[in-house]
A = this chain, B = another copy of it.
């Protein structure tokens, strides 16, 4: 972007808008998700499970790029909310299989309007959203 003296200016750093945008988008979800009594990371877990039920904890960890020490308590809270079940795998006793409960499955219908609702909050055109999407994935894949 720039070199030398200005490199430490907040306005010249990519890190800052990334950090701010991420928190801001999470914040946009908050009022929508609180109606479903969900937090943002819990919603991400459900997105995984709505696509494919019966997933190992370690597979969720890979998909969401989260570690076991983050996921374990998060999933335990979701279990307390009766959204998911945590069962040991019969094939490998070390693995925990996460599956949706009836309540977790039913929640999908209630969540279907969320993406659209969020799209309205963020004033990006379809082209811009796609561009941003691609750049972010390039960034994610570039740094391992």
Contacts and interface: CB of A to CB of B under 8 A. Distances in A.
What DSSP secondary structure best describes chain A's contact surface?
A: helix
Interface string A109-133: 0011011101101111010111111
A51 interface: yes
A18 B22 contact: yes
A134 B8 CA distance: 18
B24 A111 contact: no
A139 B115 contact: no
Contact of A25 (B15, B40, B50, B64): B15
A7 B116 contact: yes
Contacts of A29: 15
30 contacts: A1-B115, A1-B126, A1-B133, A8-B51, A8-B111, A8-B115, A9-B47, A9-B51, A10-B44, A10-B47, A10-B51, A10-B63, A12-B115, A13-B47, A13-B115, A14-B122, A14-B129, A14-B133, A15-B25, A16-B44, A17-B133, A17-B137, A20-B136, A20-B140, A21-B139, A24-B139, A24-B140, A122-B139, A122-B143, A132-B135
Contact of A122 (B10, B48, B129, B142): B142
Nearest to A16: B44
A108 interface: yes
